[in-house]
């Protein structure tokens, strides 16, 4: 069981280019697993990756999503400098853009534990632990994947969206934490298909103009390491 994880910070990168890159790493791991089943005596360890990235303005719709949750037409999207993709993760519609920390763990869960529910809860917990370091109480909302603030009140708001894909226990896609995000872009969708719930960003919650994103990433890495017993390369 290989618990080593290679972190790659891709900086600001186009969504489709990043998706293609995820697919490349994902397929390479699946191929190693396929070869290992054919030749168990010469089995190779499967690698694990954690990609950090920031995307230009983009809306993505998961495979179980509903198109009516996108409130803009093609012309309006173009006017806002945004793009749109239907993609192969779970979940409904969300927004990615500057000031948001997006994390894509491409893990072979055979190296950790084969339980997608537990995997999602660990991703949520890493974000909850990170928010706690800033004095915020992140919470789960029953039946709604991701991390929220003020759950069970009229002021419930989502600060981190999640959606993953898995095949033969290999994961892709991941989480999107609003850190210095322009929340106005969420007005153009029904976020995650959930009506009547607001969104939040770390800088707004802390009353700051800007939060150090590198510091936030380092906290996320530390918390993922503790939860998954990771060994970063």
Please tell me the predicted confidence (pLDDT) of residue 11: 98
Helix (H, G, I), strand (E, B) or coil at 75: helix
- 176 closest CA partner among 145, 150, 205, 135: 145
Extract the runs of DSSP E, i.e. beta strands, from the chain: 4-12, 49-54, 58-61, 83-86, 93-96, 100-106, 138-141, 144-149, 157-167, 170-178, 198-199, 231-232
pTM confidence score: 0.94
pLDDT for 163: 92
pLDDT of residue 62: 87
Long-range residue pairs from 23-32, CB within 8 A, at least 24 positions apart, any chain: 23/172, 25/49, 25/106, 25/172, 26/106, 26/167, 26/170, 26/172, 29/106, 29/108, 29/170, 30/167, 30/168, 30/170
Residues with pLDDT less than 70, the chain: 191-196
- Known binding residues for substrate are 89-96, 161-163, 174-176
- Considering the chain, what percentage of its residues have pLDDT values greater than 90? 81
CA distance 90 to 43: 31
- 160 belongs to the catalytic site: no
Instruction: Give the per-residue pLDDT at 178.
Output: 98
Separation CA 153–CA 161 (nearest Å)? 19
Binding residues: 89-96, 161-163, 174-176
Out of 101, 192, 202, 230, pick the active-site residue: 192
Topology (CATH) of 4-227: BirA Bifunctional Protein; domain 2 (3.30.930)
Residue-level pLDDT at 194: 60
């Amino acid at each position: 069981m290989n618990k080593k994880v290679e972190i790659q910070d891709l900086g600001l990168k186009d969504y489709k280019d990043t998706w293609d890159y995820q697919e490349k790493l994902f397929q390479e791991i699946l191929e190693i697993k396929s070869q290992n089943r054919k030749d168990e005596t010469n089995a190779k360890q499967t690698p694990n990756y954690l990609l950090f990235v920031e995307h230009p303005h983009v809306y993505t719709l998961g495979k179980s999503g509903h198109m009516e949750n996108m409130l803009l037409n093609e012309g309006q999207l173009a006017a806002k400098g945004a793009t749109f993709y239907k993609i192969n993760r779970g979940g409904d519609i969300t927004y990615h853009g500057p000031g948001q920390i997006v994390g894509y763990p491409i893990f072979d869960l055979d190296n950790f534990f084969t339980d997608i529910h537990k995997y999602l809860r660990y991703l949520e917990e890493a974000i909850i632990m990170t928010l706690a370091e800033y004095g915020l109480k992140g919470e789960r909302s029953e039946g709604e994947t991701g991390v929220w603030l003020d759950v069970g009140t009229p002021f419930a708001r989502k600060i981190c969206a999640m959606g993953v894909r898995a095949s033969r226990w290999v994961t892709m896609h991941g989480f999107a934490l609003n850190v210095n995000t322009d929340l106005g872009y969420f007005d153009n969708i029904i976020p995650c298909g959930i009506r009547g719930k607001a969104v939040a960003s770390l800088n707004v919650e802390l009353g700051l103009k800007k939060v150090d994103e590198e510091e936030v990433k380092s906290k996320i890495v530390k918390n993922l390491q503790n939860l998954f017993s990771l060994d970063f390369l």
